[in-house]
Amino acid sequence: MQDDYENLSPPRAAKSRLSGYALLLMLLVIMVIGAVIWLDPSALLNRGDPNLPWNQESRLVTPARPIQPPVPQQPNIDTLLVFTAPAVHADADRGEIMLGLAPDGRIEGTYSGEYRPTADLHRQVMACRFRGNIDSSKIYSDKQGPDHSKLFLIAKGTFLILETNSRTSRVRSVKGYIYVTGWLDTEYYAAGEITITSDKRTFETFTWQAQASEHADTPFSQN
């Protein structure tokens, strides 16, 4: 009987050790997830939607890096193109953007205006600038299939909006990020979206569209 008990002891000990390792591994995974959420709460949110602009930030090119030029099927950019377009949500005004696209593929622009998202709220854009670039590697696609002739635009910046609630007389400053994305066709007509968010969890999306106008000099700073 004693021999039988001794023979059973090692497997039980091994099983206990395995359970301990599994518990430690689980605790380690929980700690890693907690650290990621603490450092960047948005990292695990909306990660499954590749169309959200912050999930496409890898397409933004730093100033020190050259930008891949358009391929032959895409619109050629040999002068500064400027787009001035209203920001629209459900046929309602949401301000205005001005976007400049330089021959080297870099983008700079501003978002401005004031509007009422509800009867009680009034918003005034106090400051907003964004910068970005073209990305000729991204292929446009819709129900009709891929269209290799369109050129993708992406830009990111920050905004400061003053929001006044007429019902409560409360005034607050809203800060966050603005993303501007769009597609430019061979007729130099662009259309896309404007996304503003303070935390990358909740956000508002507006649409924009405009025909390009040519400018010899950029209206934006080069700093």
Q: 82-115 b/e with 16+ CB inside 10 Å = b?
A: bbebebbeeeeebbbbbbbbbeebbbbbbbeeeb
pLDDT one-digit tens code per residue, 61-92: 998 899 999 999 999 999 999 999 999 999 99
Find the radius of gyration of the CA atoms of the chain. Answer: 26
pLDDT one-digit tens code per residue, 102-154: 999 999 999 999 999 999 999 999 999 999 999 999 999 999 999 999 999 99
- Distance in angstroms (rounded) separating the CA atoms of residues 95 and 1: 86
pLDDT one-digit tens code per residue, 29-42: 566 455 444 554 44
Q: What percent of the chain has pLDDT over 70?
A: 74
> What integer pLDDT is reported at residue 52 of this predicted model?
96
DSSP string covering 86-131, please? Answer: EEEETTEEEEEEEEEE-TTSEEEEEEE-EE-SSSSEEEEEEEEEEE
- Distance in angstroms (rounded) separating the CA atoms of residues 174 and 35: 27
For residues 181 and 204, is the Cβ–Cβ distance under 8 A? no
pLDDT one-digit tens code per residue, 157-212: 999 999 999 999 999 999 999 999 999 999 999 999 999 999 999 999 999 999 99
Which amino acid does the sequence have at 118? T
- What is the band of 97 on the pLDDT scale with cuts at 50, 70, 90? very high
pTM: 0.77
Which residue is listed with tokens 């599994």? 22
Q: List all residues 6 or more positions away from 34 whose beta carbon is below 8 Å from its beta carbon.
A: none
- Distance in angstroms (rounded) separating the CA atoms of residues 159 and 195: 11
DSSP secondary-structure letter at 39?
H
Task: Specify the length of the chain in residues.
Answer: 223
